[in-house]
Structure 1
Amino acid sequence: MHPWIETVTLTPATTPITVLPPDPATTVVWRMTPAGDSDVLVAGPRTTAAYHTTKDLPVCVRLRIRPGGVIPLLGTPPDQLVDQVVPLESLCGASATSLAEQLVTYRNRPARAADVLSDYLTARVPTYLPERLALVRTAVADLPGRRVDEAAARLGVSERYLRRVFRQAVGVSPKHFARIARVRRVIGTRHSWADTAAYAGYTDQSHLIADFRALMHVTPKAYATGNVPLSTC
């Protein structure tokens, strides 16, 4: 298990519609176009879902950063990246431009490209890491199973302090993190809505439907049948 990278995706989606659920994580993406252009992008925490037609990309590598890892890897608070996609070079300077050029060498070896990208990011981690990083990671594990005040009490800090350091380290508030986590649990389940609500941590089925609609822009039933709002941007 990588200490900073939660998941690695090596290929682009192949379905006509790409679904991007709300996501509290920040993702670093290297992609090449059919014309051979190469760039590395940083997608910040996504507070609601997005839907668009799948782009024709011959290679696309996505590294999803673990909660609390954005500042050590990128040197930028993730709350400044919320609902944004920015070039890596705008955060890391000219070395990121050279990285994008270097990665072209591995266009036929995406797993190796992921390793090179990961090595570039982890080489930027400072020697000293703040103690609050461990606190944030513990809070991430506790949510959404506990209320924010319960999580704070369990960690021995004030609720106000937890909210502040959590937002700085993750990019969204603990409450919104929990909402996103619950919705992500719902996606793809095949149980009854009542059973799914209990499994995902909702108070009842109506609570599930309201939260799902707010974050996914559609009802659970519409989503399950593929009836989603499509943007081509």
Structure 2
Amino acid sequence: MSRAALLVLADGRFPAGGHAHSGGAEAAVRAARIRDVQDLAAFCRGRLHTTGLTAAALAAAAAAGLDPLELDEAADARTPSAALRATARRLGRQLMRAARATWPGQELDALAAARPRGAHQPVVLGLTARSAGLAPEDAAHCAAYETVSGPATAAVRLLSLDPFDATAVLARLAPELDQVAERAALAAREGIDALPAASAPLLDIMAETHAAWPVRLFAS
């Protein structure tokens, strides 16, 4: 297992397309639900323990070798918003391109062939981690971190927050990130039916609203 591979996969500069997405932060800023660093911390914490937990478990399950096509269907069932399902598949397609160039493997090739328009991003992330020789726990950590790092980075641009303050939000969430990743990895060991289905209805509603905006800074 290579910790260096985990650093590469979790690096925000890895060309997986995440920089173009705010994780719901843009809509939350427009609705005045994120106005300052305290609001950002609350938003990230809520996202981590809902959609973040679900994504981390899907990623861990894919890294553990569960059927990625069944996991992709499970991800669909856990994503009520059509806008978020489309976003997850776009991100999955972009990540797949980067993954196959970086850690090529037959399992990635098979999923790409079966889902040419993109599988859900957490499923691709988990399979990428597997191809890179990482453990399910690593995949869960990576997915959980992405859940909060995206909104934190976006909020710096959207609100001109001090980037040091935004990074401090992520650092203070580290113990909870560990807890969510551990819980997700444990669930993955029990099979697909045991995977969490935590949701955040307000994120779903805001995603649908955001998708209809004629002008926006972020794709989601």
Normalised by the length of structure 2, the TM-score is: 0.27
Higher relative contact order (CA 8 A, sep 6+): 2
Structure richer in strand, relative to its length:
1
Which one has a larger percent helix, Structure 1 or Structure 2?
2
Scaled by the length of structure 1, the TM-score of the pair is 0.26
